[in-house]
Amino acid sequence: MDDCPLPSIAAVGNTCSTCRPIYDEIAQHRFQQISQRFFGDLADQLPMVLYRSKGAITGSTVQEVLSGPTGSPPRDLNIVVPKGYFLVMEDRMLRQYYKEYEEPEVNDMMDFNLQQFQAYKWDSRIVTVSESLGPDIMDIIVNSPTTTDMNLMTAGGVVSLFPRHTLAYDGLLGPTGGWDLKEGGRFGSVNGVRAAVQVDNRNTKEDCGPRCPSLWRFVRTDRNTLRLNWDRRYTVQDIIENSQMEWRVSIECLNPVCKYGVHKKLEGRSFTYSEMPATNYQIVNRQRDIAYRVPV
Ligand SMILES: [Zn+2]
């Protein structure tokens, strides 16, 4: 059972009170293995530092916890913290072993979407810390390059915005993911399996349903997300419940069998181009056109 996907173990854990502690133990063990791999004898401090800084872990190590540890483990750990907590994380967890490191493949989103970003290296281990522009770290998670990365984890729980994509190593490009990922390309190295990139969802064979990438989602109430908890002291629930993030993966859905049919509604239609009104006279005319439903 130790190598099974965590959602399957959680399902068994929920069936009886004897099974529940086994699930808690396996999940905790997976988290501890990762924190020991990256932080050595500081590992015991990680749960509390993450909790106090309102931060979380994202990226391939979360996928390792969700899918189960087999093959070669990821060599990098990605931490996200809200604005104002960057130095707390650096001082408490990184100064002792790690040195600052110039990350060669920094995602373009780092340039405009973060308050601060820094990579650190200790032998072959790499830790990155990303500080969000505001108090909501979900801002960083929903701007991940692909849906496979849209996960976060504390010492007490994990949230996956696209659990099916994550467990299948199948990544649909997000709004910030276009910089060097090509259709069918591979990225990441979780368990020796490299996730496959889908530039869009035109090859989907079934209806998107509520997972349609063109639908707006509100993190706090989104029922499509997977939420698993194993230690209430460090619950991941607080991060989700305090989030105000409303977002979507893309403005269009290209799935031909999607019941929302966003692509069909646009097919064969030409939208007339009209310029922004520049004078008061043009503004009055435009208001009249809108009032009388004249196409503008
Ligand atoms: Zn769709």
pLDDT band, residue 209 (cuts 50/70/90): confident
If you measure from the C-alpha of residue 113 to the centroid of ligand 1, how many angstroms do you get, rounded to a whole number?
Answer: 26
Strand partners, 118: 129
If you measure from the C-alpha of residue 63 to the centroid of ligand 1, how many angstroms do you get, rounded to a whole number?
Answer: 25
| Cβ count near 100 (within 10 Å) | 11
Residue 73 has pLDDT above 80, yes or no: yes
The pTM of this model reads 0.81
* Helix (H) or strand (E) segment spanning residue 99: strand 99-101
Instruction: Please choose, from the candidates 237, 238, 212, 215, the residue with its C-alpha nearest in 3D space to the C-alpha of residue 226.
Output: 237
If you measure from the C-alpha of residue 7 to the centroid of ligand 1, how many angstroms do you get, rounded to a whole number?
Answer: 25
pLDDT at 260: 79
pLDDT tens per residue across span 226-285: 999 999 999 999 999 999 999 888 877 888 888 876 555 556 555 555 667 888 888 888
pLDDT at 177: 60
- Residues ≥6 apart with Cβ < 8 Å to 189: 60, 72, 74, 75
If you measure from the C-alpha of residue 213 to the centroid of ligand 1, how many angstroms do you get, rounded to a whole number?
Answer: 6
If you measure from the C-alpha of residue 254 to the centroid of ligand 1, how many angstroms do you get, rounded to a whole number?
Answer: 7
Residue 43 has pLDDT above 90, yes or no: yes
If you measure from the C-alpha of residue 215 to the centroid of ligand 1, how many angstroms do you get, rounded to a whole number?
Answer: 8
Residue 56 has pLDDT above 90, yes or no: yes
Distance CA 157, CA 47 (A): 11
If you measure from the C-alpha of residue 255 to the centroid of ligand 1, how many angstroms do you get, rounded to a whole number?
Answer: 6
Give the mean pLDDT of 123-127.
93
Cβ atoms of 109 and 143 closer than 8 Å: yes
* Helices marked H in the chain: 6-13, 19-39, 46-52, 60-67, 86-89, 109-113, 138-142, 163-167, 237-241, 262-266, 280-291
- Give a three-class secondary structure readout of 90-132: HHHHHCCCCEEECCCCCCCHHHHHEEEEEEEEECCEEEEEEEE
pLDDT tens per residue across span 6-33: 998 888 888 888 888 988 999 999 999 9
Phi, psi of 226 (to 5 degrees): -95, 130
Sheet-wide strand order for 114-122: 99-101, 114-122, 125-132, 76-81, 56-58, 151-153, 157-160, 226-229
If you measure from the C-alpha of residue 217 to the centroid of ligand 1, how many angstroms do you get, rounded to a whole number?
Answer: 13
Q: What's the mean pLDDT when you consider all of the chain?
A: 83
pLDDT at 239: 93
pLDDT tens per residue across span 173-195: 776 665 555 555 555 444 344 56
Q: Which residues surround ligand 1, an ion (CB under 5 A)?
A: 208, 212, 253, 255, 258
Give the mean pLDDT of 62-87.
89
pLDDT at 193: 46
Looking at the chain, the whole-number percentage of residues with pLDDT higher than 70 is 82
| Cβ count near 269 (within 10 Å) | 6
* Helix (H) or strand (E) segment spanning residue 229: strand 226-229
Which of residues 96 and 2 earns the better pLDDT score? 96
If you measure from the C-alpha of residue 256 to the centroid of ligand 1, how many angstroms do you get, rounded to a whole number?
Answer: 8
Instruction: Please choose, from the candidates 81, 88, 98, 69, the residue with its C-alpha nearest in 3D space to the C-alpha of residue 1.
Output: 69
pLDDT at 189: 40
If you measure from the C-alpha of residue 202 to the centroid of ligand 1, how many angstroms do you get, rounded to a whole number?
Answer: 9
- For residue 188 the two structure tokens come to 């990441």
Give the mean pLDDT of 122-137.
93
